Structure 1
């Protein structure tokens, strides 16, 4: 099997490689070595040429040459006339059965593992706890008494929470019973469980283009073959979905109706109904991801599943993390009863069950969900107003559409690619997610875009825009850089 990486894949895997101390070439060499140690670069993998990688990383060719030379001197890289540079087989010899570790994917979350105090990461959204959440947690301790004597796991979720979630959906126009609910460790695990159930190597999956890189990574790890369909101002293009279903017979259709990540588009009622009818008619299951929220539209419709005819297989995923607090890892999925049973078996294999203390807290938070959601929305709307004001002041040539909801802007860069800009931004201590990573399309159609999450506090918004503007001026005026530009903080 060819384990070589394209330059775009390698740049994505390197992540925030240029942050930290020491010579730039040394940091690049260390980051490449780390990819080998974790299995993302296997023995024999071919590396891009020094010139190609230097262009992609926006550094001088000398920097890449020095990093490659260092790794050659350490026996990590081999170079041969006519075959380029490869990872040496002596670093981690290939096993006789051909097995090799799989370190691919998860570009979005690398900085969660490799944290750097000097780096401002915009790869993930910040959701600090709302006022009052701490008190809810304290009061929830009073509800633990009976559970402490049980000594059980509740693999499908705490019964009281499943009842509360069923009521939550019913109140929003989607009649639901507790046996349709499986509580998960955040929406991320819910999507992972659905991917495990429906997907295998080569499974065609219809997805929105662009889409959320974190979930695309989960499906890609299962071997999914993506069929990207563009969006318009009402959501995923329904004619494109019909063609994709007819031509590819997908195993799954993955959409984010309220609200789409990264564009913030809210899918129209008509589009939800059309997708539900399509699922019922063709038998294609739909995974509806409703976990992305923040600023909320005053006329937000019921979930897509509420518009699906009887017999349509729609699995809806939601979470409390984006409303109450990112540290509360409580999510859930709502599915037809027989699918909920199958997914709960996957949940047991993953972790037996979620923490009951978190679920007790979630019961209380769900009882106050509407007020909490309005509070989060009001705060983020004011923050979004401030962020847009700063961008119009310091980066007047940038373009974006005010989102229908969510917690980020989908920025369009004039006359530049987001991959190149992201590399320059790293030298200013800012980690961005280029639009190409938010897309399953093999083209570079979204390279002009990047997702800009709304920082939670005013000082953070000022700092982010200041670094963005410095990086933009450098990209506009200069070529590659040999060393990070010193920050004046």
Structure 2
């Protein structure tokens, strides 16, 4: 099957193709040629029609025609009678699949690899490290280093001190946990990879929220799992459709983000958590809950916050909880963990040992001093996010008054609905105005959120203001001229 007949998929692959000097048609030709050389576009693969790709990229059809003509002259593309435009069979690609550019999360990871450059990138919602990291690091150097250096340093399951601290953290939350139920990982991303390797086999299926986060979905796709989407409402995953999906597909995992869902910011209610737990237990499916944003509440908590979803499961039902210090403390620390049944943790640990023999010990010692302080660190980070959320909402209401969103319960971004048109098309115009956005199609493969954007508010206030100004100029251009695929407009070069 040709993967890129859908123009939006090809646009995601190309990323920031408009950067640099020169006419647009030549920059597009260079980006397509590079994708073919890297192996992201395969020999014989069919590309979208000129009209379709022009619409998605928000350029004139003449721009795409010029790029395709240029590539046919370079013998990168060829036109086959009755078969459209394809990558030339003579192209010698690198022996790879094109790296991270091939996945739906590719634009996010590629930005981390390339660096931000002059763009304001909204691909990654990350903040600077908490100031308490400096104090904790000084304590580690002063008090812990002799014992750490006396140790061989290989702990595939995690530094015992940190495993104990994480277990105590969950016990305080109302989910009794022992150190043997905890595996320390290099961030939550690795935690999800290890769990997927343990649970998913050929023809496995995973029920996921729709929308969800593309990097997480790509982990399940990488092991060829079938993704079964279930929509959300204001309390979390919709239980009537969830019940139908569990009954019809008998999945290996139910993957949910109950605490400040990414990208919507929804907090799953306690009532909804109980119902989800009941359904999972009834159908014998393991719950994989991802609580990366735990503690980042954007409204004052009224009463007691819901317990982790695992705490609502009846005896005998199985749950895996993944979390990290990335949002509450610092993404650069790269400390995450898996909490689950001891036998599952051991199986994950064996795979962790094969991957890296264990996460860095000094980082874990630092985390062991920070985990007991999460009850104070997360609210402090949330207070900063709360003010930036208010600023972003005020700016959007002022400069983009027809955009709509639900104010999130927590997390670090707004999930914004455009009043019309495709967010993929708008994302291309936004790039040319200096902002990189994540369109809804990356987070929801059903098409139900193709007019949505994820807009983080983790940036400094001055950058947030500049970003909204650029988005407003891009939106004005789109509203004034529309997608440039079906009318004789002057080519943009």
TM-score range, shorter chain: over 0.9
Do the aligned residues in 1 keep the contact of 2:185 with 2:338 (CA within 8 Å)?
yes
Counterpart of 1:487 in structure 2 is none
Moved over 4 A (4+): 1-5, 481-484
| Structure 1 Cα separation of the partners of residues 23 and 150 of structure 2 | 58
Moved more, 105-114 or 152-161: 105-114
Would the aligned equivalents of 1:238 and 1:275 in 2 still touch at CA under 8 Å? yes
TM-score between both structures, scaled by the size of structure 2: 0.93
Cα distance in 1 for residues equivalent to 2:8 and 2:335? 34
CA distance in 2, matches of 1:221, 1:21: 36
Q: How many residues align?
A: 478
Distance 2:2 2:399 in 1: 46
Match for residue 47 of structure 2? Answer: 47
What displacement does 1:454 show?
0.5
Question: Where do 5+ consecutive residues of structure 1 fail to align?
Answer: 485-489
Unaligned runs of 5+ in 2: 485-489
Q: What is the CA-CA distance between 1:201 and the residue it aligns to?
A: 4.2
CA shift for structure 1 position 351: 1.6
Deviation sequence 1:395-444 (CA, Å, 0-9, x none): 11111111111111111111222111111111101111111111132xx2
Q: Secondary structure at the match of 1:318?
A: strand
Cα displacement string for residues 147-193 of structure 1 (whole angstroms, at most 9, x for unaligned residues): 21222310010000000000011000100000010101100111111
Question: Secondary structure of 1:170's match?
Answer: helix
Give the structure 1 partner of residue 69 of structure 2: 69
Partner residue in 2 for 1:199: 200
Is 1:124 matched with 2:127?
A: no
1:75-224 correspondence runs (5 A)? 75-92=75-92, 101=97, 103=99, 104-105=102-103, 106-107=105-106, 108-142=108-142, 143-224=144-225
C-alpha separation in 2, matches of 1:138 and 1:88:
58
Name the CA shift for 1:102/1:26 in 2 (closer, same or farther; >3 Å). Answer: closer
Native 8 Å contact 1:56 1:419 kept in 2: yes
Shift in Å, 1:2: 5.0
Alignment of 1:32-431 (within 5 A): 32-92=32-92, 101=97, 103=99, 104-105=102-103, 106-107=105-106, 108-142=108-142, 143-293=144-294, 294-296=296-298, 298=301, 299-431=304-436
Question: Superposition RMSD on alpha carbons, in Å?
Answer: 1.9
Shift of 1:223: 1.2
- Structure-2 residue corresponding to 1:455: 458
Match of 1:469?
Answer: 472
Partner Cα distance (1:361, 1:93) in 2: 44
Contact 2:209-2:255 within 8 A present in 1 as well:
yes
Q: Do the aligned residues in 1 keep the contact of 2:47 with 2:84 (CA within 8 Å)?
A: yes
SS at 2:327 equivalent = coil
* CA displacement at 1:61 relative to structure 2: 1.4
Q: CA deviation at 1:138?
A: 2.5
Greater shift in the superposed pair: 409-418 or 135-144:
135-144
User: Which whole-Å CA distance do the structure 2 matches of 1:137 and 1:9 have between them?
Assistant: 43
| SS of aligned partner of 2:405 | coil
Name the CA shift for 1:482/1:16 in 2 (closer, same or farther; >3 Å): farther
